[in-house]
Amino acid sequence: MQFAKLLCSLTLAVAAFAADAGIWKVAPPPPASWQRDRVADLSARRKALMDQIGDRSVLILYAAEPRNYAGDVDWPFRQENDFFYLTGLTQPGAILVLAPGAEKIREMVFIPHSNPSRESWTGHMITAAEARETSGIQDVLEAGQFRGFFTALIPRSRALIPAPAEGGVPSGPGGVPSVPGGGTDATPPTSTPDWTTGFAKPIAYSAKQELQLYMILPARPNAVEYRREQEFAGKLASVGAGVNILDATTLFDNLRRVKSQREIEILQHAVDITAEAFQRATAAALPGAPEYEIQAQFEFTFLRRNGHWGYPCIVGSGNNATTLHYQSNKDSMKAGDLLLMDDAAEFDQYSADVTRTIPVSGKFTKEQADIYRLVWEAQQAGFAMAKPGHAASGGPDSIQGAAGEVFKQGLFKLGLITDPKSDAQMRIWFNHGISHGIGLNVHDPGGRELQPGMVITVEPGLYFRPDALQNLPKTPEMEQFAEAIRPVFEKYKGIGVRIEDDVLITAGDPKIISAAIPSKLEEVEAGIAKLRQAIKTTPMP
Amino acid sequence: MQFAKLLCSLTLAVAAFAADAGIWKVAPPPPASWQRDRVADLSARRKALMDQIGDRSVLILYAAEPRNYAGDVDWPFRQENDFFYLTGLTQPGAILVLAPGAEKIREMVFIPHSNPSRESWTGHMITAAEARETSGIQDVLEAGQFRGFFTALIPRSRALIPAPAEGGVPSGPGGVPSVPGGGTDATPPTSTPDWTTGFAKPIAYSAKQELQLYMILPARPNAVEYRREQEFAGKLASVGAGVNILDATTLFDNLRRVKSQREIEILQHAVDITAEAFQRATAAALPGAPEYEIQAQFEFTFLRRNGHWGYPCIVGSGNNATTLHYQSNKDSMKAGDLLLMDDAAEFDQYSADVTRTIPVSGKFTKEQADIYRLVWEAQQAGFAMAKPGHAASGGPDSIQGAAGEVFKQGLFKLGLITDPKSDAQMRIWFNHGISHGIGLNVHDPGGRELQPGMVITVEPGLYFRPDALQNLPKTPEMEQFAEAIRPVFEKYKGIGVRIEDDVLITAGDPKIISAAIPSKLEEVEAGIAKLRQAIKTTPMP
């Protein structure tokens, strides 16, 4: 829905607190499928994963480590995405095991011992019954039992996993063992499966040195997110455990690339919350306000709709709009500035990713409009390629190719490049990728070839940093280029525009799931005017 | 200031956006001393630190590591507190060196190479001139030069510090080298000091194996915040570098315990932002609203005043108020609930720490009022002991001792303990510490003996978890106790009350710097009534 439509229903009566609807469209409640289809979704994913790894394999996933804020304070806990993708559990200190070749227990999850007398300090810890209900996994064991299982499977690993400590209040919130499998509680579990019969086949493969152990072990260096896994895999290899340790990253990339109907609806909800926030932010983006006021308006909306940001808010006014990852948000907005807002909600760990660029004054200048229209047209050209059989980049019929062609023609007409065929010149002003998948990661696994069920961004942008010409490579060609365009550049410098939408690939035309947030120049200006008129008489709720 | 006073100035005219002042008191601008006295404050701290460690010592502090959110997204960067305490710099990838015995350069800071062509991706990176102006440290070098310095000082460390890599865009935002001292840029620095003359004395001590190297190496296990330091110190020891590696934690604890005038004013500003937020939250805490709506109101206010939370918001209604570290904030508030809000702003990394407990309906029930008044009286008794010569705990004239005495008498009168002299019984209902320092950590270094210039919390609380009697130790005494109080307990179960204020210790009476947030029962009720009446006609801005 567009601002223009929203505002038809505007009532100028004084609104009572929380009666947001009079001024703008509030996000609807979460989709029914969110909880209704949760277990079906999770079970299907686990089945698909087990089909891929086969009977000789075991997959082990750890819940995320807490992230330290400072001293004894942590950032709010956020679950590791692949663990969440297969379990739906948000409990720290848990471990998932999938063993498709096992006789009895093919899926099991280990959770920290839930102790009511600790919960005064730790907050509620999930019970086995709750873990079963959320995940659909029937075998829920205690974290302290992981060692028994794992050493039954791989006897040489015994020395690598500390025995469960004697009971006592855990030092950190959530009671997360710092070493995987190192339980914090010695309370005897109600029952321990007989590992040697329940897992005879995987144990036999292990004895023959034919077991494949999958963990998340991304190849990229400095993957601090998976430090524990890397360390554990390294130690396991070093004790000669005779097991093939494999990285599961690609398996998850392949699974997560195409979204289920439920995932699409959750992403739509994250977008709906984002759309509500853009209205609030646009109303508040008045000359003189600090950029962090806009950040506050976004985060406020995300939180009160039970969401969060999916990535730190980017709110860049004036020259700051030309910095792609500007996050300091400390400057004040001036009437002549453009304001670039790359801000989106995450709901249930699924993140939208949306950018709009608006004039703080409410009206684009001629030069701002030149660039804005060009970016908008490039995006439209990109949308036309967002179909199965096309790719995000790599050829004239890709999203990047089609948008790039619009950019080259347009920039040449404006005099901002000297060669309408030069990708290299165009790339000076559009220096980032045009598309990526969204999902549990804001940069979710994507694929070269677009398929129905993928949800991707289309996000062209043009950025004229005031120091851009000084920072070009010092080659004769580039100096010649700089000289040729300098007079035109002077008119456009300081302008940064990005328009980013979230797009569902279907069998036919793409569905722009963030289309409710206006992006056409005339609709942006009309939306600002009506919204700001409305808040003069009806304060923002 | 109290709500009652604030609301005298209430105008019922429809307020324009951002005209907050009509409804409640908005936090004033940051104190003038914040920037004006920054360098003086930083310089005095460095001098005090150097005086303590002496000529044979060198102190090395790292800037904080970024904290991963998920995938390639990080949490917003927050500087390590001790590094910030001595430099005021918020740049990742920096290293501070203090060498009181050096001939020429006693203070220097290494910062990542600032490269304008990268800043499109990374955001602004601090320049040497900016680092000088912010910190007052004159010798600002490039991160890649740290290796040269350190191996001149401790030749055996050469293998431990990677040589600066060839140039190129860093993989993570902020361009932080993942290994201390491992610069990401090979750009030759403009000049390199002659280490052997500038640091002849420390180098000589090092050669004699008499050098003392101070780093932050806290004794507590799992100090993930200082993982790099621990690893580096371990490796340094393992190569037999002949240097005494010492933990600087206690030095900083001693320095940071007593606040400067500027720090007190910054803390007051964090409290003022917190006070503004409590008004907004109180107005919004209506029956039916979810707890996360209150969290949203707090974080909104913190962000729009250029602050942040100092610890994740605790918003517990009903039984959740009895969980000390409740952070899920997902339940909805009911009219008969108490709502415990332990929420405070951090400004420039200094955190307030305030708790209020209010009735969602606007009126306390008799049982809620019984407990509330008792907690309030215990706090008043604690305030009376918040003076030099007294201690936070450990005797009848300590804060804990005085408050505990009020609790014992009051709980006995209500029939919630059976022995008015029993600390153990009282501690069943008041099961946490009553006071801690605040500052750069929300749990800042404190000290047994109170001194003028300390800023501490006084935070008594009583919590009657519905399952409390079931979870008592299974001893005959405790079973007898449970039986005796059970009928009374049934009336009070589910009630949780904490009142927490921030207190500046002075030579005379303590100054309650959070007194503007009403806490006396009658003032809480009056404040709620007036605020909610006001927002019926004047929506919250």
Looking at the fold, whether B239 and B262 belong to one and the same domain comes out as no
Both B272 and B250 in one domain: the answer is: no
In the three-class reduction of DSSP (H, G, I as helix; E, B as strand; rest coil), residue A128 is classed as helix
CB contact under 8 A, A539 and B16: yes
Among the partner-chain residues A68, A301, A303, the one whose CB lies closest to the CB of B295 is A303
Domains identified in chain B, total number: 2
Token code pair at residue B389: 């010569």
CA A142, CA B449: separation in Å to the nearest integer? Answer: 44
Helices (H), A394-475: 399-414, 423-429
pLDDT of residue B128 exceeding 70: yes
Q: How many CB atoms lie within 10 A of CB B119?
A: 20
Contacts of B315 in chain A (CB under 8 A): none
- In one-letter notation, the amino acid at residue A407 is F
How deeply is A412 buried, as exposed, middle or buried, from its count of CB atoms within 10 A (0-12, 13-18, 19+)? Answer: middle
pLDDT of residue A222: 63
Give the whole-angstrom CA distance, residue A196 versus residue A151.
11
Paired tokens of A166: 């004697």
Clarify whether residues B344 and B447 are in a common domain: yes
Q: Which residue among A16, A323, A540 places its CB closest to the CB of B536?
A: A16
Q: Are B267 and B438 in contact (CB under 8 A)?
A: yes
Residues A208 and A270 in one domain: no
Task: State the alpha helices, DSSP H only, in A136-245.
Answer: 146-153, 195-198, 200-207, 227-238
How far apart (Å, rounded) are the C-alpha atoms in residues B25 and B398?
A: 34
Phi, psi of A361 (to 5 degrees): -70, -20
**Beta-carbon separation of A73 and B536 below 8 A:** no
Q: Quote the DSSP letter at residue A93.
A: T
Residue (of B541, B124, B77) closest to B304 by Cα position:
B541
Q: Which of A483-497, B176-190, B329-343 has the lowest mean pLDDT?
A: B176-190
State which residues form the domain around A94.
Answer: 33-256
Q: A230 and A350 share a domain?
A: no
Choose among A116, A297, A328: nearest Cβ to B123.
Answer: A328
In terms of domains, do A317 and A190 share one?
no
Q: Please, which residues have CB within 8 angstroms of residue B207's CB and are 6 or more apart in sequence?
A: none
Closest CA to B465 of B318, B358, B287: B318
Interface with chain B: mutation pick from A72, A120, A292, A324, highest number of B CBs within 10 Å = A120
- Among the candidates B256, B274, B305, a domain finishes at B256
Give yes or no for a contact between B118 and B170, defined as CB atoms under 8 angstroms apart.
yes
* Sequential pLDDT tens for chain A (541 residues): 233 333 333 222 233 333 444 789 999 999 999 999 999 999 999 999 999 999 999 999 999 999 999 999 999 999 999 999 999 999 999 999 999 999 989 999 999 988 777 777 777 889 999 999 999 999 999 999 999 999 999 999 988 887 765 443 333 222 233 333 333 444 445 588 899 988 999 999 999 999 999 999 998 766 789 989 999 999 998 888 789 999 999 999 999 999 999 999 999 999 999 999 999 999 999 999 999 999 999 999 999 999 999 999 999 999 999 988 787 889 999 999 999 999 999 999 999 999 999 999 999 999 999 999 999 999 999 999 999 999 999 999 999 999 999 999 999 999 999 999 999 999 999 999 999 999 999 999 887 899 999 999 999 999 999 999 999 999 999 999 999 999 999 999 999 999 999 999 999 999 999 999 999 999 999 999 999 988 887 777 6
> Would you call B299 and A295 a contact, using CB atoms and an 8 Å cutoff?
no
For A307, name the nearest residue in chain B, comparing CA atoms only. B292
Distance from CA of B314 to the nearest CA of A (A): 11
CA pair distance B502, B513, nearest whole angstrom: 6
Query: Minimal Cα distance from B116: which residue of A?
Result: A471
A112: DSSP letter: P
Judgement on whether residues A310 and A171 belong to the same structural domain of the protein: no
Q: Which residues pair with A503 in a beta bridge?
A: A456, A512
B251 & B274 share domain? no
CA distance A186 to A144: 7
**B509-539 b/e (C-beta count within 10 Å ≥ 16 → b):** ebebbbebbbbeeeebbbbbebbbebbeebb
- Which of B12, B14, B73, B84 is most worth mutating to test chain A (most A CB atoms within 10 A of its CB)? B73
Two tokens at A249? 């990253």
* CA atoms of A526 and A537, how far apart (whole Å): 18
Residue that is last in its domain, among B217, B234, B256: B256
Instruction: Measure in Å the smallest separation between the Cα of B491 and chain A Cα atoms.
Output: 20
CB contact under 8 A, B323 and A68: no
pLDDT of B185 reads 42
This model of the complex carries an ipTM of 0.92
Residue A244's SS3 state is strand
What CATH number did the domain enclosing A95 receive? 3.40.350.10
Gap from B346 CA to chain A (nearest CA, Å): 12
Angstroms from B68 CA to nearest CA on chain A = 6
From B239, B216, B240, select the one nearest B80 (Cα to Cα): B216
Q: How far apart are CA B351 and CA A135, in angstroms?
A: 38
Which residues, 6+ apart, have CB-to-CB distance to B78 below 8 Å? A69, A70, B64, B67, B349
The answer to whether the Cβ–Cβ distance between B536 and A17 falls below 8 Å is: yes
How far is residue A164's CA from residue A184's CA, in Å, rounded to a whole number? 6
Contact B17 A539 (CB under 8 A): yes
A-B C-beta contacts closer than 8 Å: 203
What are the residues facing A355 on neighbouring strands? A342, A500
Residues A230 and A299 grouped into a single domain: no
Q: Do A535 and B17 touch (CB under 8 A)?
A: yes
Give A310's contacts in chain B (Cβ within 8 Å). 73
Which CATH number goes with the domain that contains B381?
3.90.230.10
pTM above 0.90, yes or no: yes
What residues does B290 pair with on adjacent strands?
B332
Chain A residue closest in CA terms to B176? A222
Judgement on whether residues B118 and B41 belong to the same structural domain of the protein:
yes
Rounded distance, CA A510 to CA B492, Å?
A: 58
Q: Which of A203, A221, A256 is the last residue of a domain?
A: A256
A67 and A74 Cβ atoms separated by less than 8 Å: yes
DSSP symbols for A73-113: EEPPP---HHHHHHH----TT-EEEE-TT-SS-SEEEEEPP
Secondary structure class of A386 (helix, strand, coil): coil
- What are the two backbone dihedrals, phi and then psi, of residue B62, each rounded to the nearest 5 degrees? -100, 145
Same structural domain, B147 and B15? no
Q: Is the CB of B120 less than 8 angstroms away from the CB of A304? A: no
Helix, strand or coil, per DSSP, at residue B25: coil
Which residues of chain B are within 8 Å of residue A290 when distances are taken between CB atoms?
306
In terms of domains, do B147 and B39 share one? yes
Mutate to test the interface with A, among B114, B300, B346 (most CBs of A within 10 A): B300
